[in-house]
Structure 1
Amino acid sequence: MPIQSGGMPHHSHPFYMPVKISSLTSLSHYATDNIPATNSCIMFVWEGKGQLEIDGELHSLESGIIMTFAATSKLKLKTEQQLQGMWIEYTSMPNHRQEQNFLNGSPALHHASAQLIALSGELYSAWIEPDDRKPFKVQQLFTQFIVDLHHELAAKKETSGSWIENVFEYIEAHYNEDITREQMATLAGVSPEHFSRTFRKIMGQTFSAYITLLRIRRAQQRILTSSPNLTTLAHEVGYEEGTYLSRKFKQLVGLSPTAYQNKNKKIVALNYNHTAILRVLEIMPQLGVYSDWHRSLEQVPASKQLTMNEGNSSLLFDSIALAEPDIIISYNIPENKILTPVAPVIELPFMQMSWREQFGLIADVVNRRQRAEEWLGHYDGLCHAANKKLNHSIGSERGTAIVWELSSRAAYCFSSSYGRGCQILYGDLGFKPPSIIMENGIMDSGYLVSSIEEIGTYPADYIIITSIPSSSEGRKRLSRLLRSRDWKQLDAVRNNRVYILNQGDMFYGFDPLSSQAQLKELLRVMTS
């Protein structure tokens, strides 16, 4: 090691030290502007699914992914399936400026090795249950974690074709313009010949064929979600004439745009909510994702059920391609791009559309608007009857209500944009969310996270618990809550207005089928 004058060692690299390690479920409690600017952060997802927005850029979260970023980054988390994992804040010694941290700005590691996953579990356990006999264990594990993460990120960088990623981003933004192979090769910094070989190896088709495919897919999406004039549509996707678009459309799809719009289509739905919408519209998807609760309502052939294989996009692609769908319905997630060669993907924005709006849009796509309106009329009738019954039972002044979903490690409450029965309580039945969760920003994130023991600090006139922990550890924490002073002093507890339903799978859905069941269950317990 080099020695400076005065005999002190010179550190060519900083020494990294963990400041805080916690469960990923606590992320919503961390405002990045409250984290010291000298710190950096690591997010490691063990289970679940969601999206993380970092400084305006959206990243998909799934099992095995690791994200690294500076504390000065602006974060926004959206959870689709409950996230489990590890959230780390760390600093460097000596106190280097955080932008010099070699991890900041690194690309996401999408498939952490089994060794790194096991090491992360040891690190988390050592942090939350320190061993006084091994005071340096956390630091040793963290140092090894950083070293292994660095090695895996370096290996990824060596094997990734970063210029290809840049090219695809450009194509997505400019597919309707006159872009050429030579322009893309210049953008990539490679020869046109090398560009063509690499592109065809990755995509299985030429650059020009892919541009045509992308334009026709965009045309299909527009045809399915509106009724554009053919000439206008041609201009939108990059062609000068409607007749030329029609010819290209028929070559690729096998039908004219009009015939495609009118045909009965084979559909693949990539999540529970959209599968349920299709079933309410009396359509059996070619493949759909079904919840356990949905499967308890009807027998679904195994051949019609789609398993979302975490971290295995090629297997998912093969399953969907074999179904030969005419339409794929999904939320707007980055993984949808790999499905472009298979069929047009109708993307619905996550947490930005109510279940009624999603229902209506999908009904239009599959030409079942009348069926949707009939069903909504029936549902509104149920809501009217429910409100009359509540008026008789508890009065017209509803008061506040809060919904909790308990896992083994944390408790979650929600806004109406996230569902979980809140779309009914706050939207259909006239209850209000407690001011404390409004002040904590639930309308921005869609949900808040608390420890189970802290639920007693969130007062509401009515408390609904839709699921309780399945583990012995979680049950013990729930038991401590129910014995706590804060809990016993809540008005809802003293007035016998706490409803423990433990039907998390039913309340997870944000669709017509689940909402109707949730309405009936909420009415049953609140008027019994």
Structure 2
Amino acid sequence: MYNDNQLLSHVFYQPIQIMKLEELFCAKKDQSAYPFIIVLYEGNALCTLQGRKLQLSSNSVMFVDDVDDFHLLKASGSIGVVIQYRAYGPKLVSLLQDTTLMEHCSYRLMDLVKEIEREAKITVESNPFRLQKLFGEMLEELYHHLRTHKQQEDLWIDRVLNYMNLHFNEDLTREQMAEKAQVSPEHFSRTFHKHTGYTYSEYLTLLRIRESQKKLLLGMPKLDDLAQVVGYREGTYLSRKFKEIVGVSPTVYYQKSKRLIVLNANHTACLLALGITPVLGVYSPFLENIKSVPSSQKLKGYEYDITSNYKEIAVACPDVIINYSGGKEKQSLLSLAPIFELPCRQLSWREQFELIANLVDRREVYNHWLQQYDDQVAQCNQLLDRQLGARGTAIVWEIGSQAAYCLNSSHGRGSHILYEDLGFSRPDEIVTHNIEKTGYLTVDIEEIVHFPADYIFVTALPTKDFGKECLLTVLHSEKWQSLAAVQKKQVYFINQYELFYGYDPLSTAAQLQKLMEVLTS
């Protein structure tokens, strides 16, 4: 129970001005007197704060309390927003515990900030409390991000492990790492072993041998050359350490048939297209309809989950684990096998398919499969040339229960086929939103009417009542009915989420067939 005269120590924050990032260059001194938050959606920005240079990258947030010591040096080509705010309370403190810069913030946070931008343009009479509510939700999301990441950053062991992962081929000593961690060598050794299960030297050796295995997956170099690459002076020493950890010599490992484990459905599909069934793999519902495999060869869950699958992976004794570029899961799986990582955001499905084909020595099968697919694409284009002529613009939507998602080639969902294979182009409305860099665009369901295209494809529909009601309202609106694609009956409600979710050779071939079916029916 509170005493009658007790004051709450809570501080209240109120947004007072919202501007584009570039407007900071020309903001008057009195305009920037209040503290502010910079949110960078895309690109990079350079600034100085209290005499030190700081660089902001995409999806980062910066807090500026001492506005007199802040200078924005460069923000060309960047997209961001500045939110000035006022603080009220009996005892004012810096927002979020003197935090200056937060990186890799969530997409939810970015979406909240965009909502704040939109709400700030609306008159107060519409809803005088919504802007404050959204700002509060943004601060709560920032606090959650800070709390979870502080716990990780406070552990010096994480910093050391990250450094070792990047510099394992250098002459790293325990004493050097202890100095980086700012602890005594003895305390370093105890904590390191407790956290990893290895002594420092054992873990360094493990990193070097795993890298050796990854190199051997793609060729058989001279052992002395391989030793130099991973941090050893001679091949004989590498060979001895390799056999201690792997159980066989580098030559035998290179020659043997590998036990493959795949931690996502797209790479499982790549192997299936090459005629290989992994020892363990992740299977989407679409893949399960294509390839029937015993449950003993399936990892639990549609998406990969290290917690529920670790024991099963360990029992399978993998020679190689294939996955996207990972963080924590990579660390925990390192003791089992080398992880062949593919950065999915940087590589197309064709490039990922090719790398996996090289990994399993199925280059000829890959070339044959891809040639068949390209022949099919050529036939499809001949048919579309006769029936449609010039393609025009196309847009792909996934409509969920709360929002609509417009997808670009890097996220698949059929858009890569339309834009890269079948000659359709992106509408100007999504190009201006920089979708070629971000990969997707999230809007309210009601906003899809503002993105006209010659052809509209909807690959997923909402499953919950709220989303269904919103979509029905849109479809019956005058604005929707006036769209050229609607009037020409060039809107296609495919609604096959599982089919269009995959970004791999098998899914792509099936998506091509489905898109041609609706375009030519």
Same fold, judged at TM 0.5 (above): yes
Q: 1:294 to 1:235 in 2, by over 3 A?
A: same
The correspondence for 1:215, drawn from 204, 208, 218, is: 208
TM-score (norm 1): 0.76
* Superposed displacement of residue 173, structure 1: 2.3
The C-alpha deviation readout for 1:354-400, integer Å capped at 9, x for no partner, is 111110100111111111111111111211111111112112x1111
The correspondence for 1:365, drawn from 359, 364, 371, is: 359
* Separation (CA, whole Å) in 1 of partners of 2:137 and 2:262: 42
* Structure 2 SS opposite 1:464: strand
Q: 1:227 to 1:488 in 2, by over 3 A?
A: farther
* Structure 1 SS opposite 2:322: strand
* Superposed displacement of residue 333, structure 1: 2.3
1:440 matched to 2:433? The reply is yes
**Larger displacement relative to structure 2 (496-505 or 260-269):** 260-269
* Superposed displacement of residue 317, structure 1: 3.0
* Separation (CA, whole Å) in 2 of partners of 1:355 and 1:288: 18
Superposition map of 1:399-414 within 5 A: 399-414=392-407
CA contact (8 A) 1:200 1:206 kept: yes
Q: 1:295 to 1:90 in 2, by over 3 A?
A: farther
The correspondence for 2:370, drawn from 354, 372, 376, is: 376
The correspondence for 1:203, drawn from 196, 200, 213, is: 196
* Separation (CA, whole Å) in 2 of partners of 1:159 and 1:387: 52
Name the structure 2 match of 1:492: 485
Name the structure 1 match of 2:276: 283
* Structure 2 SS opposite 1:329: strand
Q: 1:391 to 1:520 in 2, by over 3 A?
A: same
- For 2:298, give the aligned amino acid: Q
The correspondence for 1:355, drawn from 349, 352, 357, is: 349
* Separation (CA, whole Å) in 1 of partners of 2:22 and 2:315: 48
In angstroms, what is the RMSD of aligned CA positions?
4.4
Q: Which structure ranks higher in relative contact order (CA pairs < 8 Å, sequence separation ≥ 6)?
A: 1
Name the structure 2 match of 1:323: 316
CA contact (8 A) 1:324 1:342 kept: yes
Superposition map of 1:25-64 within 5 A: 38-40=35-37
Name the structure 1 match of 2:123: none
Name the structure 1 match of 2:511: 518
* Separation (CA, whole Å) in 1 of partners of 2:382 and 2:262: 36
1:345 matched to 2:339? The reply is yes
* Structure 1 SS opposite 2:430: helix
1:458 matched to 2:451? The reply is yes
**Larger displacement relative to structure 2 (355-364 or 32-41):** 32-41
Name the structure 2 match of 1:474: 467
* Superposed displacement of residue 58, structure 1: 9.2
Name the structure 2 match of 1:117: none
- For 1:340, give the aligned amino acid: L
Name the structure 1 match of 2:495: 502
The C-alpha deviation readout for 1:257-294, integer Å capped at 9, x for no partner, is 23212221111111111011111112111221111222
Q: 1:57 to 1:259 in 2, by over 3 A?
A: farther
Give unpaired runs (5+ residues) of structure 2.
Answer: 1-5, 25-31, 46-54, 65-71, 78-82, 106-111, 120-127
- For 1:410, give the aligned amino acid: A
* Structure 1 SS opposite 2:387: helix
CA contact (8 A) 2:11 2:92 kept: no
Name the structure 1 match of 2:124: none
Name the structure 1 match of 2:423: 430
* Structure 1 SS opposite 2:358: helix
The C-alpha deviation readout for 1:318-371, integer Å capped at 9, x for no partner, is 332222211111111213222211111111112211111110100111111111
Q: 1:58 to 1:288 in 2, by over 3 A?
A: farther
Name the structure 2 match of 1:15: 12
* Superposed displacement of residue 156, structure 1: 8.6
CA contact (8 A) 2:96 2:143 kept: no
* Separation (CA, whole Å) in 2 of partners of 1:482 and 1:102: 47
* Separation (CA, whole Å) in 1 of partners of 2:104 and 2:406: 30
* Separation (CA, whole Å) in 2 of partners of 1:469 and 1:368: 40
Q: 1:441 to 1:174 in 2, by over 3 A?
A: same
Q: 1:139 to 1:393 in 2, by over 3 A?
A: closer
Name the structure 2 match of 1:230: 223
CA contact (8 A) 1:40 1:104 kept: no
> May I ask how many residue pairs the two structures share in their alignment?
465
* Superposed displacement of residue 231, structure 1: 2.5
Superposition map of 1:244-323 within 5 A: 244-307=237-300, 313-323=306-316
* Structure 1 SS opposite 2:13: strand
Superposition map of 1:183-202 within 5 A: 183-202=176-195
* Separation (CA, whole Å) in 2 of partners of 1:141 and 1:162: 32
* Separation (CA, whole Å) in 2 of partners of 1:305 and 1:375: 25
* Separation (CA, whole Å) in 1 of partners of 2:498 and 2:433: 26
* Superposed displacement of residue 215, structure 1: 0.5
- Identity, in percent, stands at 43
Name the structure 2 match of 1:104: 99
- For 1:177, give the aligned amino acid: E
* Separation (CA, whole Å) in 2 of partners of 1:178 and 1:310: 38
Give unpaired runs (5+ residues) of structure 1.
Answer: 1-8, 21-29, 43-51, 60-66, 77-88, 111-119, 128-134
The C-alpha deviation readout for 1:299-326, integer Å capped at 9, x for no partner, is 2322222236989744443332222211
* Separation (CA, whole Å) in 2 of partners of 1:19 and 1:503: 45
- For 1:358, give the aligned amino acid: Q
CA contact (8 A) 2:264 2:283 kept: yes
Name the structure 2 match of 1:415: 408
